[in-house]
Structure 1
Amino acid sequence: MKKISILLLTLAALFSACTKDTKDTISEDGASTVITDLPGDTTARVGGNSAGFKILYFRFATGAKVTVADEDKASLQWDLAFTGPYNSEVYVNSGTYEYNPGYKGPGQGAIVIVNQDYDQVNTAPDNAAFNSSTVYKIGWDAGNGVGWFFYSLDNHIVVPVQHRTFVLRTPDGKYGKLELINVYKGNPPVVTDLFWPAPYFTFRYYVQPDGSRNIRTKQ
């Protein structure tokens, strides 16, 4: 029995080590931009005397995070804002929603959720659908069907929602789509460790440059 226990512990350790080195593969379609391990505010912590997580701003055109001063939030300097606990709540720059970092600015951003795989979403809806959408941010799906991850209050681990795509009207009025894939470093397929390094975002997106609603990425 003692030998069996030692063997099981050894296998568990090996499995844990292998899991931490294993990544989900993201298919390259030749059109989308794939971002891996984009660091959020990795120094902040939830609770205690933490001042909260600093907002991570991201720009589609450069495929990189940008620094935005408080007085410039209501501008077109950024497209996505990763906010809230572990930067897990994502806004598209919009001047119409009061809790959006770009409130009262020129951003035309809006979100429509499509419960399909990213590669299968080929056409953005018309402006009427975006204008009537009540999806103001993308965060925890607590059963309302609008988030990008599930979160358990028992184990405090984030599990990304599968087969869900966020179709966007970008802040400058173009159309695109976004898939948020992971919040953990290395894009692990399974996380069982509460202390896995986070937030490190893996996601992909596509913006149609010609202004049309064609957002096909897989030929």
Structure 2
Amino acid sequence: MKNKLKSTIVLFAVICAFASCTKDEVKPEPVDGKSTIIKDLPGDVGKTVGGGAEFDPQYFSFKTGAKVATTEKLTSGWDLVFVKEYNSFVSVNNGKDGNSLGFGGPGKGGMVVINKAYDEVKEAPADTEFAANGITGAGWDSGNGNGWYFYELKTHIAVPIKNRTYVLRTAEGKYAKLEMFSMYKGNPATVSDLKWPAPYFTFRYYVQEDGSRNLNTKD
């Protein structure tokens, strides 16, 4: 009887330990009640870098929380575009920036890198900061300090950079903040399989609709 009880206790401990490990592999849901969370936004899936085909740009609107047609390219109907390899370069809509796909249109977009956790970014910087240190977009960080992910040369896997937030001006000129989580389907805590479905983007953003610089998402 004692041996049976002992075996039961050991089995229960093993199950609990396994459950804990499994739980640790699941990323907590970053809910704050204000931000919009986009899960598994598909890029130009089905293509690979090795295939030689270019990835078609994927235009996204903060207002609708969805992709928009390429016919909206020279309008203020989109705020982000996912381009380049695996659509992993995230760029803004700026009609005066020759590096923006919105060049020639009415977009007022801008982007500034803030090396703080998303919840800690509570105010957009002055327009002088956008002018002096603004970037058109962010992708692989090869040492420039702007990218949203590191690319592991040994594993060929993209690893998101922690505590890096992007403060944006939307196409309409409002202030917003953005955090990129993953380019892999399901937003997995760990990616070990090179065949993991990609690109599927998970990210969150907050737009201050009153036009102010207030980006506080934590009361």
Deviation at 1:68, TM superposition (A): 2.1
Map of 1:62 onto structure 2 = 64
Q: Distance in 1 between matches of 2:130 and 2:26?
A: 34
Q: Moved runs in structure 1, 4+ residues, more than 4 A? A: none
Deviation at 1:99, TM superposition (A): 2.4
Q: Distance in 2 between matches of 1:191 and 1:184?
A: 8
CA spacing shift, 1:135–1:49, aligned 2, 3 Å: closer
CA spacing shift, 1:29–1:75, aligned 2, 3 Å: same
Can you give the 5+ residue segments of structure 2 that lack an aligned partner in the other structure?
A: 1-17
Map of 1:30 onto structure 2 = 33
The answer to whether the aligner puts 1:148 opposite 2:151 as a matched pair is no
Identity of aligned residues (%): 53
1:40 to 38, 43, 65: 43
Q: Distance in 2 between matches of 1:166 and 1:81?
A: 14
Deviation at 1:100, TM superposition (A): 1.2
Q: Distance in 1 between matches of 2:136 and 2:158?
A: 20
What secondary structure does 1:86 align onto? helix
Can you give the 5+ residue segments of structure 1 that lack an aligned partner in the other structure?
A: 1-14
1:1-219 aligned at under 5 Å gives the runs 22-50=25-53, 52-69=54-71, 72-219=72-219
Q: Distance in 2 between matches of 1:157 and 1:49?
A: 19
Deviation at 1:49, TM superposition (A): 4.1
Q: Distance in 2 between matches of 1:104 and 1:67?
A: 17
On the 8 A contact 1:76/1:107 being kept in 2, the answer is: yes
Which stretch has the larger CA shift, 204-213 or 40-49?
Answer: 40-49
- Structure 2: which amino acid aligns with 1:31? K
Q: Distance in 2 between matches of 1:169 and 1:23?
A: 32
Q: Distance in 1 between matches of 2:84 and 2:29?
A: 26
Aligned alpha-carbon RMSD (Å): 1.7
Higher Cα Rg: structure 1 or 2?
A: 2
On the 8 A contact 1:23/1:186 being kept in 2, the answer is: no
Q: Distance in 2 between matches of 1:168 and 1:33?
A: 15
- Structure 2: which amino acid aligns with 1:46? V
Deviation at 1:136, TM superposition (A): 1.5
Aligned length in residues: 199
